[in-house]
Amino acid sequence: MIDFAEHAKLVSHKIVAESGLNAVIIMGASNIFYVTGSDAPAAAIVYEGGGVVALATRLEYLRASMEIRVGELYTYAKHNDFAEHERVLGGDLYEAVRALIPSPGDGKIGLIGVAANSRQLWEEKMGTKLVDVTSEFTKLRRAKDEAELNAIKQAIQLAEQAMRRAVDALEKGVTESDIAAEILGSIVRNGAQPAFHPIVAFGEHAAQPHAKPTLRSLQVGDLVKIDLGAKVEGYCSDVTRTFAFGKASEQQRKLFRAVARAQETALECISVGVKASDVHSKAYEVLKEEGVSKYFNHGLGHGVGIDVHEEPYLSMESTTTLARDDVLTVEPGVYLPGYGGIRIEDMVLITDKGPEVLTRFPKELSL
């Protein structure tokens, strides 16, 4: 079980107290989930003493009330025809939040998850200057604790089970859509949610990194790219495998080896304190040696947690360094228009001893 009270305490200690604030306003479904256990509320507030209050629309109030593990819950509205169970603050969301924050001098209230260009509106509505502490919060979300890691490991297990089901269903004539349905069925019947709509791409479709499943049917000689993930207790997994249907051609094996070597090289250089952009570059350099770097058209990986894509990003433009307890994907890929594409994606935990690969599904081109 995820310890959301511990998360709220971390926010209170590491952000509210350390930044000399009285309280922090948290926006964004995944950010709110991190401190309450529910993505249903529209806003949450964490106070200096560790108290938490969440605000949900009337539509989401009951789900929020059943899901939240921490703190108090209110709804808000401008009229007055409410059910018995609803705890209501008048007005709109801004007015409700304002009623819940102390009236301090400027610089005593923090704001998380609001884009810089919207902060001014929030400051007008709150009648005070707000301190953007989003980057401090992102650090907390990046460092996965044991319970979060367990949820992620379960999500990986369900993803691998779905991958196995998908592989078992591959046969001549089956459609990408059929395989996507197998994957969704496997994940959902286990009581989990898909972390995203699965990617199942045969043959030339595999050249699209984010292909949508279609009614294209599987033929001997096709590459098969499958990218899927599950969400368990609010935490995601994300795994990609690529297979050759039928005997792999020399070209397919050459490309697969290039991608596999890029992944291995990236994994070898991962450790605490390494620049995220350097990890991307290591994989890029391998693909350059292999003569296929021009077909590697995306970042090498991304953090995974409450969101399937979150900090840290392994990309050319990234300015962050890897930290202990980061969980992220390492997923080099090459994509040749008209021919197909190959991506291999594993999830990795950063430890003091280096990377621990969490994904166990075999990495074999041949089925």
**Other CB atoms within 10 Å distance of the CB of residue 306:** 22
Torsion angle of the four alpha carbons 8, 14, 18, 21, in this order, in degrees rounded to the nearest 10: -30
Residue 1 interacts with a copy of itself (CB under 8 A): yes or no:
no
Alpha carbon distance 346, 156 (integer Å): 10
Nearer to a copy of itself, 189 or 353 (CB): 189
Residue 90 interacts with a copy of itself (CB under 8 A): yes or no:
no
Element containing residue 119 per DSSP (H, E): helix 116-126
Considering only residues 11 to 70 of the shown chain, the ones binding a copy of itself according to CB under 8 A are 40, 57-63, 66
Residues pairing with 241 in the sheet:
226
Nearer to a copy of itself, 143 or 188 (CB): 188
The side-by-side arrangement of strands in the sheet containing 223-228 is 199-202, 223-228, 239-244
**Other CB atoms within 10 Å distance of the CB of residue 329:** 24
Show the site string, 172-201: x = touches a copy of itself by CB under 8 A, - = not.
---x-xx-xx--xx--xxxx-xx--x----
The side-by-side arrangement of strands in the sheet containing 72-77 is 88-90, 72-77, 52-56, 43-47, 23-26, 109-112, 130-132
Residue 120 interacts with a copy of itself (CB under 8 A): yes or no:
yes
Residue 242 interacts with a copy of itself (CB under 8 A): yes or no:
no
Measured N-to-C along each axis, helices 134-142 and 29-36 cross at an angle, to the nearest 10 degrees, of: 60
Residue 316 interacts with a copy of itself (CB under 8 A): yes or no:
yes
Q: Which stretch binds a copy of itself (CB under 8 A): 236-244, 295-303, 323-331, 353-361?
A: 295-303
Residue 275 interacts with a copy of itself (CB under 8 A): yes or no:
no
Helices and strands of the chain, counted as H and E runs: 10, 20
Closest separation between CB of residue 294 and a copy of itself, Å?
Answer: 5
Q: Which stretch binds a copy of itself (CB under 8 A): 45-53, 78-86, 148-156, 323-331?
A: 78-86
Residues engaged in binding a copy of itself (CB under 8 A): 40, 57-63, 66, 79, 81-83, 85-86, 115, 117-118, 120-121, 175, 177-178, 180-181, 184-185, 188-191, 193-194, 197, 207-215, 288, 293-295, 297-298, 316, 335-337
